[in-house]
């Protein structure tokens, strides 16, 4: 005699690992308890939506040509099923030429009370050249939006002198101060001539919400989020930005706590409830503070295995050993693929075991990078070269010499 029941998996669950628990339990009952399972056809393998992770995409024009946000939105939309509507965002470079010498702060506010508190702080420490609400369009799929403002500013000369900090360090300290000490206020973009735009929603809806078809940039990155261990909220969406660095990330880093404890010793504060935040701060620390090259930074966070290092010639072995030893707490473990946007370039990088997919396509002066090949072929049909980088292999693309 059998117990008969129908299994219906919730294909919208936020915790996809529940699927595995349910199936393992039912499998045990099937083989050991005389249970007969009748599966609804809709929930057979191949018909169940279990996303394989976040989606990332990037478009870069080496000749400095600027395009609007329609292509990057189209690219990330192809990977709709890799995210679940709990976060989407974009970073764009070269979008504020009229204010290119000023830092552009993009800020979320819970209410006007904290907005006035933040503006008082900014007026005290910065010369604010212009400010206003970031233009958006109302769409049904983006709800509960905070107040979203933009400020073009530069540190006051008197404050720089009294602080004895250079302008970039002053800006970083100010961003950390605001994000740590002002409840209900978050500076989510702080670079020159660039901006991050993010929200809770699918990325294609976020792009429409922020009117990205009105912006023109030489570099675009995009992210569709499927959070696994952290909540979906506006501050937790990608990209994560600090100065001109922005990170979009697909994966889950198991070294987060070790990375966080190390980086917080140098004045950074991880307040935003996601592992990607720490990657952004490590990039700033290694590139700006320690002066490492992009290649060296990649060799720190996705360091070669020791047995690989041992096979190198003496000079290279000593160099890689130094990087692994000196920055051991900045090794990122776990599956990841990331794109780092920065002023004048972009870097894409996989974990050293390549546990997350990434493909690169090149066509003339244009470079396309995405989690899936379909996401780049939807916007460019014919490539000069298309390939999948090896684990730990940094793909670095910069503007051509002489291009500003």
How much is the average pLDDT of 299-304?
Answer: 98
54 annotated active-site: yes
Q: 362-386 burial string, b = 16+ CB within 10 Å, else e?
A: beeebbbbbbbbebbbbbbeebeee
Side-chain half-sphere exposure of 359, counting CA atoms within 13 A: 14
pLDDT digits 0-9 by tens, 308-366: 999 999 999 999 999 999 999 999 999 999 999 999 999 999 999 999 999 999 999 99
pLDDT band at 190 (very low <50, low <70, confident <90, very high): very high
What percent of the chain is modeled with pLDDT above 70?
87
Least confident stretch, 49-63, 95-109, 375-389: 49-63
Q: Label residue 152 exposed, middle or buried (CB < 10 Å: 0-12, 13-18, 19+).
A: buried
Catalytic, out of 54, 118, 185, 270: 54
The helix-helix angle for 294-301 and 276-284 (nearest 10°) equals: 140
DSSP 18-75: HHHHHHHHHHHHHHHS-EEEEE-GGGSTTTS----S-EEEEEEETT---EETHHHHHH
Tell me the whole-structure pTM to 2 decimals. 0.87
How much is the average pLDDT of 182-209?
Answer: 97
Residue 229, pLDDT score: 67
Residue 275, pLDDT score: 85
What average pLDDT does the structure give for the chain?
A: 89
Domains defined along the chain, listed by start: 3-43 (no CATH), 55-95+193-398 (3.60.20.10)
pLDDT digits 0-9 by tens, 352-402: 999 999 999 999 999 999 999 999 999 999 999 999 999 999 999 999 998
pLDDT band at 258 (very low <50, low <70, confident <90, very high): very high
Task: Evaluate if residue 148 carries a pLDDT over 60.
Answer: yes
What percent of the chain is modeled with pLDDT above 90?
82
165 vs 169: CA distance, rounded Å: 6
Residue 5, pLDDT score: 36
């Amino acid at each position: 005699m059998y117990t008969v029941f129908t299994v219906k998996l919730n294909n919208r669950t936020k915790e996809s690992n529940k699927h595995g628990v349910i199936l393992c339990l039912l499998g045990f009952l099937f083989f050991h308890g005389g249970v007969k399972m009748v599966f609804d056809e809709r929930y057979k393998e191949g018909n169940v939506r279990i996303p394989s992770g976040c989606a990332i995409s990037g478009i870069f024009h080496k000749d400095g040509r600027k395009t609007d946000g329609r292509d990057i939105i189209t690219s990330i939309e192809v990977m709709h099923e890799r995210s679940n509507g709990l976060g989407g965002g974009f970073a764009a470079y070269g979008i504020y030429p009229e204010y290119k010498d000023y830092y552009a702060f993009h800020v979320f506010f819970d209410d006007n009370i904290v907005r006035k508190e933040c503006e008082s702080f900014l007026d005290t420490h910065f010369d604010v050249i212009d400010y206003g609400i970031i233009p958006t369009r109302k769409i049904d799929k983006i709800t509960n939006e905070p107040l979203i403002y933009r400020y073009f500013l530069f540190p006051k000369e008197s404050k720089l002198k009294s602080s004895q900090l250079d302008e970039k360090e002053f800006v970083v300290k100010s961003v950390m101060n605001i994000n740590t000490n002002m409840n209900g206020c978050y500076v989510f973009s702080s670079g020159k001539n660039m901006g991050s735009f993010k929200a809770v929603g699918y990325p294609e809806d976020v792009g429409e919400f922020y009117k990205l078809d009105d912006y023109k940039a030489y570099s675009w990155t995009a992210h569709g989020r499927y959070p696994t261990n952290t909540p979906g909220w506006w501050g937790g969406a990608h990209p994560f930005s600090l100065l001109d660095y922005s990170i979009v990330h697909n994966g889950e880093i198991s070294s987060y706590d070790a990375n966080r404890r190390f980086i917080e010793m140098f004045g950074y504060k991880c307040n935003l409830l996601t592992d990607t935040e720490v990657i952004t701060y490590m990039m700033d620390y290694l590139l700006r503070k320690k002066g490492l090259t992009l290649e060296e930074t990649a060799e720190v966070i996705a360091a070669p295995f020791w047995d690989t290092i041992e096979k190198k010639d003496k000079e290279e072995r000593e160099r890689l050993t130094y990087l692994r030893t000196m920055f051991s707490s900045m090794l990122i473990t776990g599956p990841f693929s990331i794109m780092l946007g920065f002023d004048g370039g972009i870097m894409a990088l996989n974990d050293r075991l390549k546990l997350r997919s990434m493909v690169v396509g090149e066509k003339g002066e244009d470079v396309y990078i995405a989690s899936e090949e379909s996401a780049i072929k939807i916007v460019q049909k014919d490539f000069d070269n298309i390939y999948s980088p090896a684990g730990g292999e940094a793909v670095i693309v910069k503007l051509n010499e002489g291009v500003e």
